[in-house]
Amino acid sequence: MAPLPSSSAQAPPVAVILLPIMAAVLAGFVVTGAALPVLPLHVNRDLGFGTFVVGLVAGAQFAASVITRIWSGACSDANGGKRSVVLGLAAAAVAGLLYLLSLALGRSPILSVAILLVGRAVLGGAESFIITGGVSWGLAMVGSGHAGKVIAWIGTAMFASLAFGGPLGTMLFASHGFAAIAAVTTLLPLLVLLLLLRTPSPSPPSARTKSAFGSVIAAVWLPGLGAALSSIGYCAILAFGSLLYADHGWQPVWQAFTAFGVALIAARMLFGHLPDRLGGARIAVVFVLVQSAGLALIGLARSPATAFAGAALAGLGYSLVYPGLGVEAVRGTSAENRGLAMGIYTVFLDVAMAAASPALGWIAGREGLSAAFLGSAGVTLCATGIALHLAHSARGLR
């Protein structure tokens, strides 16, 4: 299938073209969304470990993504994004099997959590291939003129899993324990993989030149650093949102995940076109400020309503930071290197989140869970300086 011209008047809307990819990413990431609110509870209550180990288990997924992200980008450029998505779904099913093995060894908590760490690492690799492959697949179909929409819409599918997978995972955990999460993680990716094999794939991309890696790094590192800083707040909600609610006795514990995800999805549906139209860096400046305010509100919350509002505000802010800075990353690379560019771009997020999860866990253990959110608000706010610099540079190029 040849790439669809981005400027063709007869071409269907970008969202319609991307719908099969979004569906695959949505289904593939339900297994991640279902585990997010209950994994900290399983590690803390079932296995008896503290907040540092909770952060370590949560961060294992992101640490593995650091190793596999560039690999997944190169694979997408060389073999097409669809193949990367298929490989990612298969790896996600393997992670589910490791979850089941961890449960079988539950009488030895140290061994059980070690196997769980491996499973989270495998899931991190799966996530790399699914997301990077999905974005590369989408860009091959609609062109770089719609890069912001591609990144935003495919990312929306991932966060829809975050919003709706949380309640699903909580219900499964309450009724059947972590074994239900492990079973879903094993079976759902396999089902989606079988359905995806029948969908068409874009034509193979052009070969990438040997000198591309250095030039792509040069184009991507600054937007990547900004996205990494802004993702610290996302990391705080992922790792400690449910524990904050549980610590205060607020129910249900998945509210922060759902508020964050629903606000992000709504913002991308309403404003996803803005980075392509007005400039990714300019949009990122505004939305980083909103995200930081939301994180601070969570840290200061004394009621579930305030925490819910803060999570929604953080989701609204984060919604266009990642695609906005992603537009700046893709803008400086050639078509045959887009997968590699997105892989390197996302590595910056992975490094930040892999380091931030245990670091925030350490802060939470010493100063309380609220301190983790206040600290993440301050770090996220630093991304405004990078976005302002990129906006000024982009204006100078015009």
- Digit-coded pLDDT (tens) for 120-170: 889 988 988 988 888 888 887 776 667 777 887 787 777 777 667 878 888
Q: What is the mean pLDDT of residues 168-191?
A: 90
How many other CB atoms sit within 10 Å of the CB of residue 290?
18
Which residue's structure tokens are 């279902």?
34
Kind and range of the H or E run holding 166: helix 147-176
Cis peptide before 358 (omega within 30 of 0): no
Does residue 240 sit within a domain? yes
The more confidently predicted of residues 68 and 6 is: 68
In this predicted structure, what is the pLDDT of residue 12? 66
In this predicted structure, what is the pLDDT of residue 9? 46
Does residue 207 sit within a domain? no
- What does 284-326 look like in DSSP terms, one character per residue? HHHHHHHHHHHHHHHHH-SSHHHHHHHHHHHHHHHTTHHHHHH
Does residue 347 sit within a domain? yes
Does residue 362 sit within a domain? yes
In this predicted structure, what is the pLDDT of residue 202? 65
- CB-based burial label for 144 (10 Å; 0-12, 13-18, 19+): middle
Query: Which CATH number does the domain housing residue 383 bear?
Result: 1.20.1250.20
Number of domains in the chain: 1
In this predicted structure, what is the pLDDT of residue 164? 75
Distant-in-sequence, close-in-space partners of 216: CB < 8 Å, separation ≥ 6: 333, 337, 340, 341, 344
Does residue 375 sit within a domain? yes
- Lowest average pLDDT, out of 56-60, 283-287, 296-300, 356-360, goes to 56-60
In this predicted structure, what is the pLDDT of residue 180? 93
pLDDT digit string, tens, across residues 248-294: 888 888 788 888 888 888 888 888 888 888 888 899 999 999 999 99
In this predicted structure, what is the pLDDT of residue 294? 96
pLDDT digit string, tens, across residues 289-314: 999 999 999 999 999 999 999 999 99
Does residue 252 sit within a domain? yes
- CB-based burial label for 368 (10 Å; 0-12, 13-18, 19+): middle
Distant-in-sequence, close-in-space partners of 312: CB < 8 Å, separation ≥ 6: 259, 260, 262, 263, 294
In this predicted structure, what is the pLDDT of residue 339? 79
* pTM, rounded to two decimals: 0.71
In this predicted structure, what is the pLDDT of residue 7? 43
The share of the chain scoring above pLDDT 90, in percent, equals 26
Domain limits for position 123 = 14-201+212-397
By the 8 A CB rule, do 254 and 242 touch?
yes
Does residue 5 sit within a domain? no
In this predicted structure, what is the pLDDT of residue 266? 87
How far apart CA 138 and CA 81 sit, in angstroms, is 8
In this predicted structure, what is the pLDDT of residue 10? 54
In this predicted structure, what is the pLDDT of residue 314? 95
In 3D space, the residue among 352, 385, 283, 268 whose CA is nearest the CA of residue 324 turns out to be 283
Does residue 206 sit within a domain? no
- Tell me: pLDDT of 100 over 50: yes
The share of the chain scoring above pLDDT 70, in percent, equals 90
Q: Which two tokens stand for residue 44?
A: 């803390």
pLDDT digit string, tens, across residues 226-247: 999 998 988 888 888 888 988 8
Label residues 272-283 b or e (16+ Cβ within 10 Å = b).
bebbbeebbbbb
- Tell me: pLDDT of 3 over 50: no
